[in-house]
Chains A and B, each alone.
Chain A
Amino acid sequence: AQSVTQLDSHVSVSEGTPVLLRCNYSSSYSPSLFWYVQHPNKGLQLLLKYTSAATLVKGINGFEAEFKKSETSFHLTKPSAHMSDAAEYFCVVSESGTGGFKTIFGAGTRLFVKA
């Protein structure tokens, strides 16, 4: 069965320090994995995606994520947090199955950035 677990509901960092948002998944097949960001009262914006090519994926705004099949993880990182990074982040898994593609959203991790 397909599932996504974001291990932290809230993460707080100081500006200029590294960011780590954790995501574990389960999938019966080779999944596609995505990270989205949502600022308050806005839609979701794609940060990056993994599609079975390079396991280290670089995204926008300095974010990157590493696909680790052995650990079934897809953690999101950024070397140095900026105040503008404060937002909600969603890990998403998508895979094909009977009836088409199924997409599962994680519950989200809210990132707080302290000055």
Chain B
Amino acid sequence: DGGITQSPKYLFRKEGQNVTLSCEQNLNHDAMYWYRQDPGQGLRLIYYSQIVNDFQKGDIAEGYSVSREKKESFPLTVTSAQKNPTAFYLCASKGRGPYNEQFFGPGTRLTVL
């Protein structure tokens, strides 16, 4: 059963702590993306990767870090430098070519206590 998974579904963090959100896909997609969604707002791009061992900053990369050591995995670390990390985080993947859509995971809701 192909798809994209994110874990955990809910995550609570104390201020000053780093946390890592998992994203795994078995769709054999080259490109993967991380988005942040705040209440009543659209998606904002944090980081993206078009190929293994390479990634680029999106529009709101400050306070976040990523790695892409395997094609299937694209974990996102929310560092203590991110001043307002409480949000819904969505991971997506996409096959090559302009006509392919992004496939989204179910999301992780991060709450800073």
From A32, A34, A51, A103, residue with most partner B Cβ within 10 Å: A103
A110 to B47, CA, bound (A): 26
Contact yes or no, B98 A43, CB < 8 A: no
Tell me how many residue pairs across A and B have CB atoms closer than 8 Å.
43
In the complex with contacts A42-B106, A100-B50, A94-B42 CB distance below 8 A? no
- A78 on interface, CB distance cutoff 8 Å: no
In the complex with contacts A46-B101, A100-B50, A41-B41 CB distance below 8 A? no
Query: In terms of DSSP, what is the predominant structure of the interface of chain A?
Result: strand
Give 1 or 0 for each of A45-66: 1 = CB within 8 Å of chain B CB. 1100101100000000000000
Question: Contact size class for A?
Answer: 20 to 34
> Taking CB as reference atom, which chain B residue is nearest A49?
B101
Partner of B101, one of A34, A42, A100, A105: A34
CB-CB < 8 A to A95: which residues of B? 98
Can you give 11 A-B contacts (C-beta < 8 A)? Answer: A32-B98, A41-B88, A42-B107, A43-B104, A49-B101, A52-B99, A94-B98, A100-B50, A105-B43, A107-B42, A108-B41
What 17 new A-B contacts, CB under 8 Å, besides A43-B6, A105-B42? A32-B99, A36-B104, A41-B109, A42-B107, A43-B104, A43-B107, A44-B43, A44-B90, A44-B102, A44-B104, A46-B101, A49-B101, A51-B98, A51-B99, A90-B42, A90-B43, A101-B98
